[in-house]
Structure 1
Amino acid sequence: MFVDGSRKEHVNMVFIGHVDAGKSTIGGHLMYLTGMVDKRTLDKYEREAKDKGRESWFALMIHGVTSKTNSICCGISPWSSYFRYLSWALDTNDEEREKGKTVECGRAFFETDKKHFTILDAPGHKSFVPNMISGATQADLAVLVISARKGEFETGFDRGGQTREHAMLVKTTGVKYLIVLVNKMDDPTVNWDEERYKEIQNKLTPYLRKCGFNPKTDIIYIPVSGLTGAFLKERPNSQFGSWYTGPCFIEYIDTMLPSISRDYEGPVRVIIADKYSDMGTIIIGKMESGVLVKGQTLTVMPNRTSIQVIQLWSDDVEVDKVVSGDNVKLKLKGIEDNDILPGFVLCSPDALCHVGRVFDAEVRFFLHFMEQLS
């Protein structure tokens, strides 16, 4: 089936890393820098934070860097006082905003000149690893956010932290490319120190190699400040980070990231990540192959139920067609949501996926999980 050549390439990126590394703040800042979040929206977030009594928490979060904000942000972002609320662009439910932590896998999107990106913001706390895996299974690209703040990198990378586990999990789910954003470089304990950046790089790279990533072809490191936006889209007009000569984050993902291979000619495969009921059965998932149009009949595997797709959305925009690589929401006719589980697959009726009761698996245990079980 023909796929419109004018479509921008769709890339699904999951933000991973230890709790409080700055994943949601960076994701929110990317939405601001690409025009998906404006000053009016940030005003709204500020009012909501005050109503919930969270303004003091945000002030604590940025304590120690505000004195440097104007010089770091010079030429990048004119509304630095609003940046403390950027994480709310992805942390959208009450529990996440109350705790200041991502719980579910947040979802948002933005566009660059050449590509369309879906952000999957995975929770960093070890209690929500299943939610993180849900995001990783839908991703083409992983962005590993590391806190450069003194002590925080060590906490996230050493035993009990989520940095190691997240990196291993995204590789296991099939992610090929990894961007490591060394965040909080503007923190007073770091102050854009190149030696701290290299220290993190030298400690992290051997482990990522063990996970299966090729450091020469699959990994790039970029120093950033999620709060000020430095090196996300533009370089700061200051001496900070002058030693870094590589690309900014948006420049890299728009023009230098290798194209993701898509199977538009294959049978329809939609991996179901979630489901709910809203005037009918709704599923959320990713198109792994094929082209799907409104009204098309599919088969739900493994229970072999025939269904019809009566509505389609791609990144919350209703459309008539979705293609391989799209993150989709579908309304189905012919099945109840109670009869669907995450992991089920929507298939072309004449090309069903294989099912089985027995399989071989390679199992890896993480030490802190074993400690919890003992």
Structure 2
Amino acid sequence: MKWYKERMWTDCWAGLDNKKKKGKDIVEAVKDLSVVDNAADIERTAKTNKNVDVIKEFAAGNAKKESNFVVVGHVDAGKSTLMGRLLYDLKVVDERTIQKFKSESEKIGKASFQYAWVLDQTEEERARGVTMDIAQNSFETDKAKFTILDAPGHRDFIPNMIAGSSQADFAVLVIDSSTGAFEAGFHLQGQTKEHTLLVRSIGIQRIIVAVNKLDSVSWAEERFEEIRQQMTVFLTSAGFHAKNISFVPCSGLTGENVVTPLKPSKAPWYKGSSLITELENSSPLARAIDKPLRLTVADVFRGGIQNPVSISGRIDSGTLQVGDVLLALPSGEKTAVKAIEINNDPRPWAVAGHNCTIHLAGIDMLHLKQGDVLSSVSNPIPVVKEFTAKVLAFQTITPMAVDIHRGRLHVPGKITHLVRTLDKATGEEVKKKPRFIGPGTAAQVKVSLEQGVPLERGGRVVFRFGGVTVGSGVVE
């Protein structure tokens, strides 16, 4: 009987082993088929490439200038309301929609949120009354096309704010000018300073300061000047040139000086432009169209039955057209471009500066994630686990664990060596191997990462620790 039981268990385990082996064989076979299918899919899609000279086509076009701007500022400064009002006054959003939002917001005791809901569209954002992720919308005037990137103001969502800023050409900093509110956002551990430092460190050079809610202080010139003077000192110390800073008094709730110019009877002292005019007068950053393709992935999703794998993101450099074969990094998987959309309009090609949706062929979703980079096969972006950077410290920096942010990507890492401190004006060495880097000090540091990430010389990174931004830098 004992022998029978032992034999039975032996046969049973042997059967399980065989099933496991067969299961592994099936999995491997499916993988092999997937590789074959993906390769065939890429080959088919590549044949649709018309080999357009995109740079020539772009140069020959007579299109309006296109800009992306990020809206930043302390929580409750009125960023979403201001942008919602802008879209309403430009007739991008109709009266019926605003009335619907007004009725719904009144039901939950947030009657003033009707314009904010144009951009804050998730139930949680509307219930909490704060933007949590990047809200995106587009509009067009007679002179230009724009994409709004409305960033969260709350400190809990700074990573999303960094992601939005990395896609922008310039910034709109919204200040709440009501009594005590500016001071809370600027002095008392608010987000005004951190947001400003971040957008500048990411490479933004042009900033429009929307002095919002000025109607709450009866359009007082003294209040506007008080804010303008304090912010000018801070912005110039952060690296913005005075010629690239504009101040606009406005009210997102009433719409005054957003699209419709401010009436002289309200503020006879103000001789400047409306917000929309300042936006139109702002130029996009120079486009690196002639450089190798770099497209940073902001989101990965299923675009429908015909497009099982789609991504959205900004083209940082280079050009892209339907049929192009690309390399996804850090996975190293190839893929091909089935279709391109910009603001839901199909396009045969796109260039640096465009925020677009790309429908892909020949790649599985598991090989793509936020922060990945699509690049040309012939000139791919390096994948690194360590790098040297020139940094500016916002807080005291020592050899320490940090979270490293680049656009949508954020990974754990460590500042391993403080190489030297630098003169901010000349870049010359001041001191070798400092024990720490004090706030406001420039330095060269070495950084290691827990995993390989796509990153190259000139790339901009942000260092955070414990929910606080401690510095920013440029990869050397």
- Give the whole-Å Cα distance in 1 for the aligned partners of 2:388 and 2:171: 26
List aligned pairs for 1:219-258, cutoff 5 A.
219-237=245-263, 239-254=265-280, 256-258=281-283
Which structure shows the higher strand fraction? 2
Aligned partner (choices 365, 380, 402) of residue 337 of structure 1: 365
Residue 276 (structure 1) aligns with:
301
**Closer, same or farther in 2 for the Cα pair 1:309/1:319, shift >3 Å?**
same
Distance 1:130 1:44 in 2: 32
1:65 aligns to what? none
Task: State the TM-score, normalizing by the size of structure 2.
Answer: 0.68
Give the number of equivalent residue pairs: 341
1:81-96 matched pairs, under 5 angstroms: 84-96=113-125
Q: CA deviation at 1:371?
A: 8.1
| Contact 1:144/1:179 (8 A) holds in 2 | yes
Q: Which segment drifts farther, 294-303 or 15-24?
A: 294-303
Structure 1 position 100 matched with structure 2 position 129: yes
Residue number in structure 2 paired with 1:170: 199
Match of 1:312 among 340, 351, 374: 340
Q: How far apart, in 2, do the equivalents of 1:307 and 1:92 lie?
A: 32
3-state SS in 2 of match to 1:14: strand
Taking the aligned partners of 1:223 and 1:115, their CA distance within structure 2 comes to 22
Distance 2:249 2:204 in 1: 22
Q: How does 1:123-142 map to 2 (within 5 A)?
A: 123-142=152-171
1:195 is the counterpart of 2:248:
no
The amino acid that maps onto 1:162 is Q
The residue number in structure 1 matching 2:110 is: 57
**C-alpha displacement of 1:238:** 5.2
Distance 1:339 1:365, change over 3 A: farther
How many angstroms apart in 2 are the aligned matches of 1:370 and 1:327? Answer: 30
Is the Cα–Cα contact under 8 Å of residues 125 and 132 in structure 2 kept in the other structure? Answer: yes
Segments of structure 2 that go 5 or more residues without pairing to the other structure are: 1-53, 397-463, 469-476
Larger Rg over CA atoms: 2
- In the alignment, the residues of structure 1 paired with residue 220 and residue 381 of structure 2 have an alpha-carbon distance, to the nearest angstrom, of 51
Distance in 2, Cα, partners of 1:5 & 1:372: 45
Residue 169 of structure 2 contacts residue 284 of structure 2 at CA under 8 Å; is this kept in 1?
A: no
TM-score, with structure 1 as normaliser: 0.86
Q: Deviations over 1:75-94 (max 9, x none)?
A: xxxxxxxxx51111110111
- Asked if 1:41 is matched to 2:97, the reply is yes
Matched, 1:114 2:170: no
1:299 Cα deviation (Å)?
1.0
Is 1:267–2:292 an aligned residue pair?
Answer: yes
Contact 1:140 1:175 in 2 (8 A): yes
Higher deviation after alignment, 323-332 or 16-25: 323-332
Please point out which of 162, 172, 182 is paired with 1:153.
Answer: 182
Q: Name which structure has the greater RCO, CA cutoff 8 Å, separation 6+.
A: 1
- List gaps (5 residues or longer) in structure 1: 62-83
- For residues 298-337 of structure 1, what are the alpha-carbon distances to aligned partners after superposition, in whole Å with 9 as ceiling and x for unaligned? 1112332110111222123333322221111112222233
Q: Distance between the aligned counterparts of 2:260 and 2:268, measured in 1?
A: 12
Opposite residue 57 of structure 1, the aligned amino acid is K
CA distance 1:336–1:363, change in 2 (3 Å): farther
**Structure 1 residue 341: Cα displacement:** 2.8
Runs of at least 4 residues of structure 1 off by over 4 A?
Answer: 369-373
1:206 is paired with a residue whose SS is helix
Amino acid at match of 1:327: N
Q: Secondary structure at the match of 2:88?
A: helix
Amino acid at match of 1:337: M
Indicate if the aligned counterparts of 1:165 and 1:366 stay in contact, CA closer than 8 A. Answer: no
